[in-house]
């Protein structure tokens, strides 16, 4: 194109560099023109608007433009096109020897002393700010544009960044100025912005809209930087703008995203019975399920819906029905379903896929947690991924597996960590918020978070409310104070909540900008016909013998028993003793310290045996930790549990008599819970094991014991809200002789909650009510490097605690330089001196296990003893793993003062 000089055609945006991720030299040129990249990025931004962004997101991004859809679309394309303006500077141009030489020969000065001294993203912001102010843009509007460009690598500059001087040798002078103007003109021409620049010069979107839009600009850059979508061209070829516009149409194929999820527009008019029958095969929906449909159909704008109902009432199906209706009503095109654990997310993934299949959905679904790629159903989808036009139905995407991308899939089933990451002042938080902004967000078991995670959740809810994202929260045991806090966070203000004791109940609060300012929350009562009288037995535990005897007695006529211990060590010891009495085949142990392969095997077997269509081996006892207490659809005839807070006690009770069983033994025909894991003190609250105290604290344990003292029967579900609110309220509980210790425990609990809340505030984004621009977001950044959601450092920020170490746990082979898998199954041997074949890589990854983080000595010793085999270091899959080898003869591995053993039956033992 004659409008660009030879110098401008030689400006470069990217060059090929060999890495373990891209070892093969690409065909054709080894670099790509900056102006070509400008057009690629602008077209990618336009494609995202047309094919990726939900209607509710497009409304958000165009709100400051009076809903002018075309203006908002072009602005996004223009911002995306401009994002690399800072590459038209000497400090960037000098980064590549070959490109620098050509530019110098063409007449551009490049001073090597300033190479890379300032990120080109920030230079993009500085250049555009000066350019726009020079043509009399409002300074606030110009800074919004500048910050969007400056933050396209995931971190926004802090307040005052525009006051910092930049040397002319770094930003460019002389012949660099017309070159920069050419890049700007290319962005305007490629996006069609000329018609709207006068409209934008005084318009500033809300900060939530700016954040989401910045995420879209970053995503456009990622697409434009994809060599499969936009191959390197070298010097800017003639007619490339048309070439770029044609190439961008393959963006969905490159992302592996067949299409956004599309809710049935008539779902709101089907009625509850027709909806549940067609989606879930439920002929007669429960009262709770009908009520959630009624509420979802009645809303006029985005909001927060909290559904409180007993375990086993079909809250999951109700939530999915609400998702479909809300999405159709409000213009969402995706779903995020968050669960408390990997096990519950794995089970929910299958249920969501079946729901999508019943809908006939032609979309992409992702399972998002640290071990998602090892989950059998998801692996099958990933391995069968095909081109977007090859077949219809539910698919998965390898591209979405990349760092920071998990929330970009249209349908995401994940652990709650993935949602909480969107509340951290972290790198690429804009992309995470973009991923959530077009969805209906569902969170299960929201009562289960400590004060730290609750602080993160409330901050995420503030931002979701400010972005107009509809949210559904599910719980059976939500304390009234926590309900109030969640509603206030989403609404952005203190709500006057009606003191309604109805249960089950649904509470709806409008989003801050829903068009209903000052509206009060709406409370809808539902009913349940699933009454259950649960007999309670308090059994002090002087030693493990008492529990073994009680378990054996309960199973004397057969049946299936669940025993929940509060720590892995207690569960392992009890399982060992029970096997001595009942036999190995009658006892299953389940906790979090298994390899990936063994944990998947145990989770699958748990569902197959005790799920809705379970085979129910009898007699049988499952000894487990908290991994089974929430969201898993399993059912047992009886329950023995360590003393725990009352809301979690009800969750554990919810795993009992959940399904109808024809052959339940007479002895277990009545629901019975035996509460143990404590010893009675002399005129004092019960004493509990150190592990229980570490996990839950004395305060809630003692108050729970106090409300159970005079209870012989729990009438479900009425007992749930009554006892939860008593334990979590301020009512005096327990005998007089307990009160002094209870008061001390209450003070300690309050101090701990305040401490955790303060720690959460230190790592979260500021509240959307407290920010004036994107420059406020990373002022107290929790982390801003290359850490992503898979690292222990990031996980420790989401779930408060010391970073834990993940290792590949194997056993030394008989032959030197080999290792043997420790997981159940056929003996698998792999060489440590050569790169394994694909099957060997899968086997190695299946041996991953995360060591507990409570012992720094253990972590340090394991870090020192583990290693990455030299032959594996160039592997994309194995290049960063750390192998920890157990002795070949089965002896314990000594790690500091700890001894470590592993077997597939008991998992990791630490003594």
Residues paired with 338 in a beta bridge: 414, 443
pLDDT at 519: 77
* Distance from chain centroid for Cα 284: 33
Residue 722 has pLDDT above 70, yes or no: yes
- Tell whether 476 and 608 lie within a shared domain: no
Decide if 769 is inside a domain. no
**pLDDT digit string (tens) for 655-699?**
999 888 888 999 999 999 999 999 997 889 999 999 999 999 999
* Last residue in a domain, options 235, 255, 275: 255
Q: Which of 709, 734, 759 is the last residue of a domain?
A: 734
Question: Is residue 405 very low, low, confident or very high in pLDDT (cuts 50, 70, 90)?
Answer: very high
Q: Band of the pLDDT at 781, cuts 50, 70, 90?
A: low
Please report, in angstroms and rounded to a whole number, the separation of the first and last CA atoms in the chain: 73
In a domain, 550, yes or no: yes
Sign of the torsion angle spanned by Cα atoms 509, 514, 519, 522: negative
Mean pLDDT, residues 337-365: 91
Q: Can you give the three-state secondary structure of 55-89, one letter per residue? A: HHHHHHHCHHHCCCHHHHHHHHHHHHHHCCHHHCC
Q: Is 692 domain-assigned?
A: yes
Distance of alpha carbon 288 from alpha carbon 801, whole angstroms: 37
11 close to 179: Cβ distance less than 8 angstroms: yes
- Among 525, 546, 574, where does a domain finish? 525
pLDDT at res. 388:
39
The pLDDT, as a whole number, for residue 390 is: 44
Predicted local confidence at residue 391, as pLDDT: 47
* pLDDT beyond 70 at 361: yes
Find out whether 831 and 818 touch, Cβ atoms under 8 Å: yes
Asked if pLDDT for residue 389 goes beyond 50, the answer is: no
Q: Give the three-class secondary structure for 811.
A: strand
Average of per-residue pLDDT values in the chain: 90
CA distance 498 to 217: 43
DSSP summary character for residue 411: E
Q: What span, in angstroms and rounded, lies between the C-alpha atoms of 476 and 307?
A: 8
Q: Higher-confidence residue: 467 or 1?
A: 467
| CB-count burial class (<10 Å; 0-12, 13-18, 19+) for 747 | exposed
Residue 785 lies in a domain: no
CATH of the domain at 55: 1.10.3210.30
Which domain covers residue 598, as residue numbers? 532-734
Is 261 inside a domain boundary?
no
Average pLDDT over residues 289-295: 95
Highest-confidence segment of 397-406, 706-715, 873-882: 706-715
Residues 358 and 478 in one domain: yes
Q: What percent of the chain shows pLDDT beyond 90?
A: 71
Q: How far is it, in rounded angstroms, from Cα 38 to Cα 188?
A: 10
Rounded mean pLDDT, 398-426: 91
Q: Is residue 27 part of a domain?
A: no
Residue 390 maps to a domain: yes
CA distance 539 to 533: 19
Identify the pLDDT of residue 1. 42
792, pLDDT greater than 80: no
Q: What is the pLDDT of residues 549-578, one digit of tens each?
A: 999 999 999 999 999 999 999 999 999 999
pLDDT of the residue at 662: 82
pLDDT at position 386: 46
The total of structural domains in the chain comes to 4
- For residues 474 and 614, membership in a common domain is answered with no
Average pLDDT over residues 17-28: 58
Are residues 809 and 670 located together in one domain of the fold?
no
**pLDDT value for 306:** 97
In a domain, residue 1? The reply is no
Comparing C-alpha atoms, which of 737, 660, 661 is closest to residue 702?
737
Report, as an integer, the average pLDDT of 17-24. Answer: 56
Q: Are 37 and 82 in contact (CB under 8 A)?
A: no
> Is the same domain home to 853 and 888?
yes
At 544, which CATH number? 3.40.50.300
Contact 383, 375 (CB under 8 A): no
Three-class SS of residue 805?
A: coil
What is the tens place of the pLDDT at every residue in 201-234? 999 999 999 999 999 999 999 999 999 999 999 9
Domain match, 250 and 271 both:
no
Quick one: 898 and 882 in the same domain? yes
Number of separate helices (H) and strands (E) present in the chain: 35, 25
What single DSSP character describes residue 835? -
């Amino acid at each position: 194109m004659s409008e660009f000089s030879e110098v401008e055609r030689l400006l470069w945006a990217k060059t090929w560099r060999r890495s373990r991720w891209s070892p093969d030299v690409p065909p054709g040129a080894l670099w790509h023109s900056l102006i070509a990249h400008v057009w690629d990025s602008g077209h990618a931004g336009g494609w995202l608007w047309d094919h990726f962004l939900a209607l509710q997101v497009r409304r958000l991004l165009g709100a400051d433009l009076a809903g002018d859809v075309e203006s908002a679309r072009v602005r996004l394309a223009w911002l995306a096109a401009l994002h690399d303006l800072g590459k038209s500077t000497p400090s960037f141009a000098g980064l590549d020897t070959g490109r620098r030489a050509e530019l110098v020969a063409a007449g551009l000065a490049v001073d090597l002393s300033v190479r890379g001294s300032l990120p080109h993203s920030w230079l993009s912001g500085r250049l555009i700010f000066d350019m726009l102010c020079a043509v009399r843009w409002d300074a606030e509007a110009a800074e919004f544009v500048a910050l969007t460009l400056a933050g396209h690598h995931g971190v926004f500059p802090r307040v005052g960044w525009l006051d910092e001087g930049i040397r002319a040798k770094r930003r460019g002078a002389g012949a660099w100025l017309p070159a920069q103007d050419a890049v700007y003109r290319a962005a305007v021409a490629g996006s069609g912005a000329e018609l709207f620049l006068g409209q934008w010069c005084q318009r500033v979107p809300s900060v939530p809209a700016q954040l989401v839009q910045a995420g879209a600009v970053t995503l456009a850059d990622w697409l434009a930087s994809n060599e499969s979508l936009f191959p390197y061209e070298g010097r800017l070829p003639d007619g490339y703008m048309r070439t770029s516009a044609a190439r961008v149409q393959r963006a969905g194929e490159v992302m592996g995203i067949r299409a956004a999820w599309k809710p049935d527009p008539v779902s709101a008019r089907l009625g509850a019975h027709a909806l549940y029958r067609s989606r879930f095969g439920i002929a007669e929906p429960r009262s709770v399920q009908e009520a959630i449909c009624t509420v979802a159909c009645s809303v006029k704008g985005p909001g927060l819906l909290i559904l409180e109902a007993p375990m086993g009432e079909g809250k999951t199906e109700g939530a999915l029905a609400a998702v479909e209706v809300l999405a159709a009503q409000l213009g969402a095109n995706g779903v995020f379903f968050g669960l408390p654990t990997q096990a519950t997310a794995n089970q929910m993934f299958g249920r969501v896929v079946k729901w999508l299949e019943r809908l006939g959905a032609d979309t992409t679904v992702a399972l998002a947690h640290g071990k998602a790629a090892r989950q059998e159903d998801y692996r099958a989808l990933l391995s069968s991924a095909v081109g977007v036009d090859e077949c219809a139905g539910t698919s998965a995407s390898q591209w979405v597996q990349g760092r920071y991308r998990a929330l970009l899939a249209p349908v995401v089933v994940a652990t709650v960590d993935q949602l909480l990451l969107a509340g951290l002042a972290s790198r690429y938080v804009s992309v995470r918020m973009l991923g959530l902004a077009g969805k209906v967000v569902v969170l299960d078991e929201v009562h289960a978070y400590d004060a730290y995670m609750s602080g993160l959740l409330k901050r995420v809810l503030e931002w979701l409310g400010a972005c107009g994202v509809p949210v559904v929260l599910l719980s059976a045991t939500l304390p009234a104070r926590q309900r109030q806090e969640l509603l206030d966070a989403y609404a952005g203000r203190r709500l006057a909540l009606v003191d309604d004791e109805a249960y089950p109940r649904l509470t709806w609060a409008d989003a801050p900008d829903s068009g209903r300012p000052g509206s009060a929350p709406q409370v809808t009562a539902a009913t349940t016909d699933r009454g259950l009288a649960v007999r309670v037995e308090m059994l002090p535990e002087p030693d493990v013998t008492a529990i073994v005897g009680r378990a054996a007695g309960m199973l004397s006529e057969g049946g299936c028993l669940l025993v929940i211990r509060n720590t892995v060590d207690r569960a392992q010891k009890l399982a060992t003793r029970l096997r001595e009495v009942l036999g190995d085949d009658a006892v299953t142990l389940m906790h979090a310290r298994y390899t990936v392969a063994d944990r998947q095997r145990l989770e699958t077997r748990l569902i197959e045996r005790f799920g809705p269509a379970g085979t129910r081996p009898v007699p049988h006892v499952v000894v487990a930790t908290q991994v089974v207490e929430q969201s898993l659809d399993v059912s047992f005839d009886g329950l023995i549990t360590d003393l725990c807070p009352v809301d979690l006690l009800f969750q554990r009770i919810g795993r009992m008599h959940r399904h109808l069983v024809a052959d339940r033994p007479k002895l277990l025909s009545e629901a019975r819970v035996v509460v143990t894991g404590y010893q009675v003190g002399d005129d004092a609250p019960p004493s509990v094991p150190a592990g229980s105290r570490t996990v839950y604290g004395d305060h809630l344990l003692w108050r729970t014991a106090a409300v159970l003292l005079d209870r012989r029967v729990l009438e479900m579900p009425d007992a749930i809200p009554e006892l939860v609110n008593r334990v979590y309220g301020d009512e005096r509980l327990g005998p007089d002789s307990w009160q002094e210790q209870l008061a001390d425990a209450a003070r300690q609990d309050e101090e701990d909650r305040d401490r955790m809340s303060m720690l959460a505030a230190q790592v979260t984004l500021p509240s959307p009510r407290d920010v004036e621009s994107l420059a406020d977001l990373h002022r107290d950044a929790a982390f801003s490097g290359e850490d992503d959601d898979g690292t222990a450092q990031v996980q420790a920020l989401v779930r408060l605690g010391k970073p834990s170490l993940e290792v590949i746990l194997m056993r030394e082979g008989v032959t030197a330089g080999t290792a043997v898998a420790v997981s159940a199954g056929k003996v698998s041997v792999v060489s440590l001196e050569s790169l394994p074949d694909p099957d060997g890589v899968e086997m190695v990854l299946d041996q991953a296990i995360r060591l507990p983080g409570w012992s720094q000595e253990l972590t340090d010793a394991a870090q020192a003893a583990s290693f990455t085999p030299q032959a594996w270091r160039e592997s994309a899959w194995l290049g960063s793993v750390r192998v920890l080898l157990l002795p070949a003869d089965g002896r314990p591995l000594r790690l500091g003062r700890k001894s470590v053993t592993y077997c597939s039956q008991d998992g990791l033992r630490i003594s």
